[in-house]
Each structure stands twice: as structure tokens, then as C-alpha cells.
Amino acid sequence: QVQLAESGGGSVQAGGSLRVSCAASGRTVGNYAMGWFRQVPGKEREFVASINWIGGDTQYAESVKGRFTLSRDIDKKTLYLQMSRLKPEDTGIYYCAGAKILGWNTLSGSNEYDYWGQGTQVTVSS
């Protein structure tokens, strides 16, 4: 089993920056697509970004492209999402997700992920 734990959420003014982290533990053998999703009350969970853990290829939602950047510390098994030029519409609970894969791909669908963290709240005020 794989366990994911997010941290780093908080409250920021619009235009500010924040970095959230996702630490993985457990039996993490093979390759994974790792992703970030966010959710607000009354809406479906929204794709934010994904990375192929071994290959490093990334994928971003159009709404965050150019503002958010994925990175990873392989030794620490930790995924990071650097969020810059934040907007109020970026507000939500940010979830880290993982899925075991065989190739170089990333994944953007919430239904494609098997492992989820507990979420960390990000609030952007105007």
C-alpha cells in the first residue's frame, strides 16, 4: 500500500505564492503518475497538474499553466507544487494522488488514480 500526506496549505493574498507538498510512504515499487487535484464545495474534483515520477514529464491544467510548477525530491519521495500569482479561483482543498503506471505518461482524470492524500486547504483572498 501507498500512503500520501499533503502539507503546506494556508491563506495567501491574490498575487502571492505558496508551495504545497506531498510525501509518499509505504511500498512504492515501480513507476507512478502523481497528480494534484483541487476541490471546492459543490464542484467536481478538478485536475491541476501531473508528473511521471521516474521520467519527469509534466502536464498542467490550462487554468494554472505558467503559474504552477511541479517538482519532486526522489530520495525523500516528496512531490511539490509551487503556486505563484495565485488567484481567488485557486482556492480549494488540494489533494495529492498517485497511480501505478508502466510508461512515461501522466494522468489527468481523478478516476485514474488509486491513492489519495487527506488534502490541504489553500485559500486565496482578493
Q: Which residue has the higher pLDDT, 117 or 28?
A: 117
Q: Which grid coordinates are listed for 113?
A: 488514480
Span 11-30, pLDDT tens digits: 999 999 999 999 999 988 99
DSSP state at residue 74: T
pLDDT band at 84 (very low <50, low <70, confident <90, very high): very high
With H, G, I as helix, E, B as strand and everything else as coil, classify residue 89. helix
Q: Which residue has the higher pLDDT, 1 or 105?
A: 105
Angle at CA of residue 105, ends 93 and 56, nearest 5°: 75
Query: Percent of the chain beyond pLDDT 70?
Result: 100
Q: What is the pLDDT of residue 28?
A: 87
pLDDT band at 118 (very low <50, low <70, confident <90, very high): very high
Q: Which residues of 96-107 are buried (b: 16+ CB within 10 A; e: fewer)?
A: bbbbebeeebbb
